Structure 1
Amino acid sequence: MDNRYVKVAVVQAAPILFDKQSAMDKIGSMSRQAAAEGAKLIVFPEVFLPGYPRGLGFGARVGSRTEEGRQHWRRYWASSIDIPGAETELLGELAKELGVYLIVGAVERDREFSRGTLYNTIVYFGPDGDLLGKHRKLVPTGSERLLWGQGDGSTLTVIDTPYGRIGGLICWENYMPLARAAIYAQGIDIYIAPTADARDSWQATIRHIACEGRCYVLSSNQYATKSSYPADLAGHEDLREDDEILSRGGSAIVGPLGEYVAEPLYDKEGLLFATLDLDQVAQSRFDFDVVGHYSRPDIFRLIVNDAKQEIVKKSSDLVRE
């Protein structure tokens, strides 16, 4: 097997919001479709499981929250997943069945402390079915801060594979230069950038990252409509003035010199495919290597705190340390 080449698939779709089973079913069907076309690495959008609640206010205003909004959020919490948990076991089995690397955006429930905090997370599975790692979004954007907690440096995850090193950041944390630098410094070859941003400016972002990091960028977005929201959703009035298409997509695959390998897909659900030539990563770094010969560690230095942040420590743990 020539590991210089790998066929990849980027998914553009959305499940029925707040419907965990709908998301799992769609992950299964679209992964099988992608694998049937020869894909060995499959990427799903930001919080695909159980969906990105675009346009919903959850009854929140500055200084107050409504009871209905709390019930609404509880529904979102109930449709989220534990990592590891029942859903990750099923996703691992799917990756093993298909023999693929499977990368899924999910809403993760905190398992360690209150179980009341959610995180916007990328989950990585290997072709042997193993849960290889996860990344929690460092800073939820705007009103997302009401829904999700902040990740820490312990999940700036990069995975070794036969096709190079795979990792990435979620949506607008890709606008954080130091977060990108932390990923580049781990020798990234295939950069995963799931998003909820369908604007033209996002295309400039992923092309810049590819050119800056001299890596392939796989960006996966949802194609979401009002009809993908459940009929009994309490927040439908929040969407009254919105267009039927809530997210037009814009998923794309970009090469290590910033050129499109697969052009952006808009206004429909679908799969994007590309065969990546990993030799092009090395070739692209001939004249620019952001953490190699084009860095100046005598002038600039980044310190990354990669320790897991804990709010509670037992005295027995301190003694062992």
Structure 2
Amino acid sequence: MTLEIVRPQSPLTPREEDAVTVALAQIAPAWLKREDTIDRMAAAIMQAADEGAQLVAFGEGLLPGYPFWVEKTGGAVFESDLQKEWYAHYLNQGVDIERGDLVPLQELAKAKGLALSFGMMERANDRGGHTLYASMAYIDAGGEIRAVHRKLQPTYEERLVWGPGDGHGLRVHELGAFTAGALNCWENWMPLARAALYGQGEDLHVASWPGGPQNTESLTPVLAREGRSYALSVSGVLDPKTIDLNLPGADKLCEGDSLFARGGSCIAGPDGQWLIPPVNDREALLVATLDHAEVRRERQNFDPVGHYSRPDVLQLRVNRERQSTVRFED
């Protein structure tokens, strides 16, 4: 797999100490096939490494894929054998971190010396192992898993297949001169979730989406301008013609030619202007070198948790404890 490279029309030329190169991998999963999707991610990471990327980001739920069947096959029908079959397959293809499912990506991150941010369906053993969480993992350039953020609130039909997460993964990470954070999909509309990252010094924000310019085109510049940060929106693509017809009810699911996910990945600068506008309807690798000096310039007149904040009036409390239904005291 060789992806089309998309770069800014007006590239930045930062000083070396201010520069970080990022790559947004807008790819299709091998839908609902965990190991094959990891292979596709690995190919994109290898190409991004050749482009000098220090961070490679992927869309929401890419590993092993977003549950598009729910809205297209009557997902709210109670006690549906078809929906149970879909869910059982989805759960089986979920990511079990303790089993070592992410080891290939960890090893690749370490070998190439780059960080990864990606969406996955986490099969969480600390919650019994039979519920999936829309999680974002951050693996650093040493191959260590630094955070697994479970989406705080699944959106609409997602609640039929995902559990609600917690604040444990609301963390930021050093990336060169930058401080990187990430949120899943409509979490990016949640002011307090954004504020939790701002308060930790975030100035490079990854917004992860299943795929569609309707999500990224309007919000990405707002995220950038509000946070006075670089905002990276990364999405997937999915053509129904590529779906395995052996999946339950896939013949009906694949009727029609419209894409399930259209991409829309893009990058906005801390002034809210496009660095790379949305890229739609195709796989691509968006590569850009960011300049931390631009963040510092825009913080001159607005810093959401610094000189333009009033902690004596407004404060946010964040519970980062991993939630569980049982606590043992031995």
Q: Does 1:74 align with 2:88?
A: yes
Work out the CA distance in 1 between the residues paired with 2:215 and 2:236: 16
Work out the CA distance in 1 between the residues paired with 2:50 and 2:254: 40
Instruction: Tell me the equivalent position of 2:308.
Output: 294
Q: What letter matches 1:295 in structure 2? A: S
Work out the CA distance in 2 between the residues paired with 1:157 and 1:25: 27
Q: Does 1:239 align with 2:258?
A: no
Contact 2:237 2:262 in 1 (8 A): yes
- Per the TM alignment, residue 241 of structure 1 is displaced from its structure 2 partner at its CA by 5.9
Tell me the TM-score normalized by structure 1: 0.93
* Cα RMSD for the two superposed structures: 1.9
For residues 220-270 of structure 1, the C-alpha deviation after alignment (integer angstroms, 9 at most, x for no partner) is 111111023211122335536654311111100111111111121111111
Contact 1:171 1:197 in 2 (8 A): no
For residues 171-222 of structure 1, the C-alpha deviation after alignment (integer angstroms, 9 at most, x for no partner) is 0011111111111111102111110251435322111011001111111111
Match of 1:21 among 35, 41, 44: 35
Instruction: Tell me the equivalent position of 2:225.
Output: 211
Contact 2:23 2:56 in 1 (8 A): yes
Count of residue pairs brought into register by the alignment: 316
Work out the CA distance in 1 between the residues paired with 2:270 and 2:120: 27
Q: Does 1:135 align with 2:149?
A: yes
Q: Does 1:227 align with 2:205?
A: no
Q: What letter matches 1:158 in structure 2? A: V
* Structure 1 residues 215 and 85: alpha-carbon distance in aligned structure 2, compared to 1, 3 A threshold: farther
Work out the CA distance in 1 between the residues paired with 2:238 and 2:72: 19
The SS at the match of 2:56 is strand
Instruction: Tell me the equivalent position of 2:11.
Output: none
Q: What letter matches 1:74 in structure 2? A: A
Q: What letter matches 1:118 in structure 2? A: L
Instruction: Tell me the equivalent position of 1:319.
Output: none
Q: Which has the higher contact order (CA 8 A, sep 6+)?
A: 2
Q: What letter matches 1:271 in structure 2? A: L
Work out the CA distance in 2 between the residues paired with 1:41 and 1:62: 38
Instruction: Tell me the equivalent position of 1:114.
Output: 128
Question: What pairs up with 1:1-321 in 2 under 5 angstroms?
Answer: 2-57=16-71, 62=76, 64-200=78-214, 202-236=216-250, 239=253, 242-316=256-330
Work out the CA distance in 1 between the residues paired with 2:223 and 2:110: 31
The SS at the match of 2:83 is helix
* Structure 1 residues 61 and 161: alpha-carbon distance in aligned structure 2, compared to 1, 3 A threshold: closer
- Per the TM alignment, residue 61 of structure 1 is displaced from its structure 2 partner at its CA by 5.6
- Per the TM alignment, residue 273 of structure 1 is displaced from its structure 2 partner at its CA by 0.8
Q: What letter matches 1:315 in structure 2? A: E
* Structure 1 residues 149 and 283: alpha-carbon distance in aligned structure 2, compared to 1, 3 A threshold: same
- Greater mean alpha carbon deviation, residues 2-11 or residues 50-59: 50-59
The SS at the match of 1:257 is coil
- Greater mean alpha carbon deviation, residues 112-121 or residues 240-249: 240-249
The SS at the match of 1:87 is coil
Long gaps (5+) in structure 2: 1-14
Work out the CA distance in 1 between the residues paired with 2:226 and 2:129: 38
Work out the CA distance in 2 between the residues paired with 1:284 and 1:223: 33
Q: What letter matches 1:94 in structure 2? A: L
For residues 63-110 of structure 1, the C-alpha deviation after alignment (integer angstroms, 9 at most, x for no partner) is 612122212111111111112442211111010111111112111001
Tell me the TM-score normalized by structure 2: 0.90
For residues 29-65 of structure 1, the C-alpha deviation after alignment (integer angstroms, 9 at most, x for no partner) is 1111111111111001111110112243596565612
Work out the CA distance in 2 between the residues paired with 1:58 and 1:75: 17
Work out the CA distance in 1 between the residues paired with 2:312 and 2:97: 40
